[in-house]
A and B are shown apart, each in its own frame.
Chain A
Amino acid sequence: MLATPISTPAKGWGRIWSRRNRYYLIAFLFVLPALINFTVFRYLPILAALRASMYQYSLLGGFGDFVGLDQYHAILSDSFFRNSLWVTLKFTIYKVPLQVLFSLILALFLARENLGTAFVRSAVFTPVVTSVIVVSVLWSMMYHSQLGLINSLLSIVGVPPQAFLSNPDRALPALTAMMIWKDVGFSMIILMAGLKGIPVVYREAAVVDGAKPWEVLWHITLPLLRRVMMFVMVTQTIFSFQVFVPVYAMTRGGPLERTKAVVYYIYQYGFLFQDMGTASAMSIVTLIILLVVSVGQMRLFRSDVSY
């Protein structure tokens, strides 16, 4: 009986450098830059925030006493924090469905190629590439109750001056309308790409079978667009939860806390109230909520259809 030889170094290296492992290594090297980026600029800050949330911590004073989960307990019993979560949720509920609906309608109409649609597509997409702070300042002026363009237009049809940003009931819808206008082009482009990716044979087959246009839309196009819709819904929900600049530039969270979104509240705590520990705890809670919502959305829009 021959003893099983112990693998020689040459053979060991040979196994490590097998074709399969080389493929893995090359793939890993391609992924590495993105992985480093995510680790350094995403995951480590999250871990750092998690740590900060358990300490009394300020930017200037550094880490103080370890307080464990006390700050989580404090923010969950803070009615202003709960209000900011509610404002954020309302903003998301107002914005995401309306934006997806508008962008879907636009995508359906603008998916065909001609000069007119190219022009309208560019017009709809322009706000996406415009700075959100610039857009916020412009819309603040447009919304102004005495000087604003919108009230000038309303006055032409005899409507008296309306307060938008200083009216507690209208301020959040006003911000939402502006952000839908700004972001609708982004989701339109994604949905349009999704529409173009659907093989035309399915629709042609449905038409041959006598389906009406709305039946084609309802039974063919929308089901096949489900994965793209999920992407749009999830990303827009995440963006909506992170709303900050319009609040900062247009309302500062007012009037009556009606537009104080959670990220603005976190900013206040961290940078103006010098309490980065509490701000970190708020960030972690928001992150958890966002993860739960995103997973829920992904399950809801999961599609078994592939093409």
Chain B
Amino acid sequence: MKTWKVLAVLMLLCAAVLAACTVAPVPMPADDSMAMEDEGPSGPVTLKFLALADDDQLNAWREILAEFQQLNDGEYSYVELEFETIPFRELFPKIESSVAVGLPWDLFQADGPDMKHYGFNRVIWPLTDHFSDEEMAQWFPQSIEEGSFRDQFLGPPIMQSCSLLMYNKDFTDAAGISPPVGIENAWTMEEAVAAWQDTTVDENGDGVPEVWGLRWGQGTWTGDYEHGIFRRSNGEIGSATYAGMGEDGVTFQGYLDTDEAAEAMQFYQDLHQTYKVSPVEAIPEIFESRQAAFMVTPDNRIGALNRIHGEGNFNWGVSGIPYFKTPVCHTGSWHYGISPNTQHFEEALEFVRYASSDAGARIWYKHVRQLPANIGLFNELDEYSEDGNQRVWLDAMNSFGIPRIQTPGYTEYQQLFAEAAGNIVVGADPKEQLSAAARRLEGLVAKYTGWNN
């Protein structure tokens, strides 16, 4: 009897503790009255900012903050920023787990295609009622679309993007190649591969080129932003291949794994295995360190080249992006997100408002030098004037830039497509990989069914 009593008490204790262990779902902020115990001008307010580890970006935000503190005779001079910086691939799970366990983050840097996921899961504070039509008109419509979910505006853009084919002029000159000028004359993939082969140089014949023909994409990873372009470019506008995903936002079989998509990814594999113009194991900063002749990248590469080699010391050029049937570049970039856990909503909102305004975006551009999302800036930045050397990125974005697929399941899609692309690089069958990815993906994103109804 005594034993039973002890057991019963223990079970009750366990049940109580388990119930206490339950992580409550994140509440959706309904209106401004929900939160905000602002310290106000009486004391300093430090906004905690979860951001990408990138010195240029951090320097930009520090300067933006300094200007923000001067606004309206120092109305927000009591606001400070405290950054926690993490690598790109850790940012997404960090944001989600931080919100889930209630960490008091105020701001976070949100990747554009993940915005709908954040909206679906209520990880971000909706800002529809806090930005006027005039303010919304500052940004490209693509940026607003990317930063919205179910008619709710979730966060303003930090910048925009579009990838083109940059090249090292010293290498192309040495190979006697003149890449086409202007996006309308861009090479097809077949034409481009000849140039990439001609610029791949293995002088000592050890099988490891000193200069590779191509790095397709930023960083050393495989991912949708860069390598999804192959698939979508091999479809005509309006085709399933070009769309990449069904209209319901959860169907991938018949879109991700079409014969055209597999053919394009076969070409991607051939670049590494047959033509051998790209290393199977990616080399960090291969273009910046003059180990690659061509690189498909947004214009932020220019800032990196200037930082590494000194302003104007790297002899670069740019051409349209190579394509199969349709020229494609993926648009979209980072957005500001306000955490539902913030205790300083007003300050966070006002900082975001300033940082995403033309004034803030101008400072941002000075440091990061990537295509702004603020339309007004194109009238004042020489680089994007009619004969400016970065104008081609703007023209490309307006001509054939398309957002990455818009679904709350983008994270799942990005994971599985990146794995499939990585496997394809090392020699796996593209059709099998894409079909398997599409099948698995539909199982994983079924939970989002009906999200856009």
Contacts and interface: CB of A to CB of B under 8 A. Distances in A.
B24 A48 contact: no
A256 B24 contact: no
B121 A161 contact: no
B79 to A, nearest CB: 28
Interface stretch (B53-61, B91-99, B245-253, B317-325): B91-99
Interface string B136-160: 0000000000000000000000000
Contact of B17 (A44, A63, A274): A44
B97 A271 contact: yes
A163 B281 contact: yes
Contact of B411 (A80, A167, A272): A272
A254 B427 CA distance: 12
A59 B21 CA distance: 12
Contacts of B422: 252, 254-255
Nearest to B22: A63
A230 B101 CA distance: 39
Given A61-B121, A272-B93, A274-B96, A44 B21 contact: yes
A163 B207 CA distance: 13
Interface in A226-260: 252-257
B419 interface: yes
16 contacts: A47-B14, A51-B18, A60-B96, A60-B121, A61-B121, A62-B24, A155-B206, A161-B206, A168-B426, A254-B426, A255-B428, A256-B423, A257-B419, A272-B412, A272-B415, A273-B444
Contacts of B93: 271-272
A167 B426 contact: yes
A168 B283 CA distance: 19
Interface in A132-184: 144-147, 155, 160-161, 163, 165-168
Contacts of B22: 48, 62-63
Given A44-B18, A167-B426, A271-B96, A146 B419 contact: no
Contact of B426 (A146, A160, A255): A255
B25 A163 contact: no
Contacts of A145: 279-281
Interface of B: 14, 17-18, 21-26, 92-93, 96-97, 99-101, 121-123, 206-208, 279-281, 283, 411-412, 415, 419, 422-423, 425-426, 428, 440, 444, 447
A25 B444 CA distance: 52
B279 A146 contact: yes
A54 to B, nearest CB: 12
Nearest to A60: B121
B283 A146 contact: yes
A44 B101 CA distance: 17
Given A146-B279, A273-B412, A255 B97 contact: no
Given A146-B283, A252-B419, A60 B123 contact: yes
Nearest to A62: B25
Given A160-B207, A255-B423, A60 B415 contact: no
Nearest to A45: B21
Contacts of B14: 44, 47
Contacts of A44: 14, 17-18, 21
A291 B28 CA distance: 41
Contacts of A144: 281, 283
Contacts of A274: 96, 121, 411-412, 447
